[in-house]
Amino acid sequence: MQHRTLGGQGLEVSAIGYGTMGLTMAYGPGDEQQGLAAMGRAHELGVTHYDTAELYGMGTGSNEKLLGRAVKGFRDEVVIATKFGFDFSTGRFTGALDSRPATIRAVADNSLRYLGVDHIDVFYQHRVDPDVPIEDVAGTVKELIEAGKVRYFGLSEAGERTIRKAHAVQPVSVLQSEYSLFERDVERLFPVLEELGIGFVAYSPLGRGFITGTAKPAGQYDASDMRNGDPRWQPGNFEKNVQAVERLGALAAFKSATVSQVALAWLLTRGEHIVSIPGSRSPGRVEENIGAADLDLTEADLAVIDEILPRGGFGARYAQGQVPTWD
């Protein structure tokens, strides 16, 4: 497995990581044993980067606890990233943000306890909170780093102004945002990341599972699966996206690879500062996805991909009103 350095503070991770979100939310009910097996398989195959969040356990810690159990035997070999920034003070998720310093400190202590670790490797602000100056957020994470509770600072779905202001207080090692063959808006921030020496983590790198050839029409997923309401799955967009994935599938077959491997290998060609964190509950699919790190895409392959999806997929990445606005 190839490794990449993210940012200027020494953070090093495997080129393909593992995202735990789908184990407890977003894609219908999960299976704990299967999740543990998937995370263990990732480690066996060289993954050293695991991504979770307070949000993925809806404030209960369920996702972080599961990850903590999975990495118990090899915690020192891996980088654990988690995130703060939502308000769970009512005991449930309302979508409200909360990056007040006292909340950040409390979330850090909870995450340490849930994960069963003595430090968090990467601590991200999950969403920019317009009610809390980013300097205060960065200053709070800086204190956590000085206290030894956190190693590196990350931002998720932040824009240029926020990144610059945060970086001036506490160097940002990594930005995490959605990035895939279906979602390319974030490329406009890459020059800023390069200028400031910040790494990039691509989330939902398989377009929430669409760029794998397994997408079903909206309505055919479990009722709790967010893809039922995802614009890319709605009639009009769905058929066009399926067609694009079928064309990618033809290229993948020609390369003796799979569509998901082409999608993940493509991301790795987009810059030395880029890694991805695909999620899967299946050990077999984890293995498939990790195979992308060994797939070479030629200039000719990249030209074919560009011709199939020159600007991303069809349909917005979140339902109306939910697409994060970058400041």
Ligand X SMILES: NC(=O)c1ccc[n+]([C@@H]2O[C@H](COP(=O)([O-])OP(=O)(O)OC[C@H]3O[C@@H](n4cnc5c(N)ncnc54)[C@H](OP(=O)(O)O)[C@@H]3O)[C@@H](O)[C@H]2O)c1
- Give me the active site residues, please: 56
**Binder of ligand X out of 231, 280, 293, 314 (CB under 6 A):** 280
Residue 21 sits in the site that holds ligand X (CB under 6 A): yes
**Tally of CB atoms within 10 A around 278:** 30
Looking at beta carbons only, is 103 or 204 nearer to ligand X?
204
Is position 27 an interface residue for ligand X (rule: CB under 6 A)? Answer: yes
Tokens standing for 298? 């030629």
Question: Looking up tokens 């990341």, which residue turns up?
Answer: 193
- Structure-block tokens of residue 237: 């967009």
Query: Is 150 an interacting residue with respect to ligand X (CB under 6 A)?
Result: no
Eight-class DSSP state of 178: E
Give yes or no for residue 207 binding ligand X (CB under 6 A): yes
Interface with ligand X (CB under 6 A), residue from 116, 282, 302, 304:
282
Is the CA virtual torsion 159, 161, 162, 167 positive or negative? positive
3-state SS record for 7-72: CCCCEEEECECEECHHHCCCCCCCCHHHHHHHHHHHHHCCCCEEECCCHHHCCCCHHHHHHHHHHH
Quote the CA–CA distance of 177 and 204 in Å, as a whole number: 8
As measured in angstroms, the least distance from the Cβ of 16 to ligand X is 11
- Nearest residue to 96 via CA among 132, 146, 71: 132
Site string for ligand X, 186-205 (x = CB under 6 A): -----------------xxx
Nearer to ligand X, 190 or 318 (CB): 318
Q: Does 209 bind ligand X (CB under 6 A)?
A: yes
- Residue whose C-beta lies closest to ligand X: 19
The one-character DSSP state at 5 is E
Binding part of the chain for ligand X, among 63-71, 164-172, 238-246, 272-280 by CB under 6 A, reads 272-280
Residue 48 found at the interface with ligand X (CB under 6 A): no
Q: Does 111 bind ligand X (CB under 6 A)?
A: no
Per CB under 6 A, residues contacting ligand X are 19-22, 27, 51, 126, 156-157, 176, 203-209, 212, 214, 260, 277-282, 285, 288-289
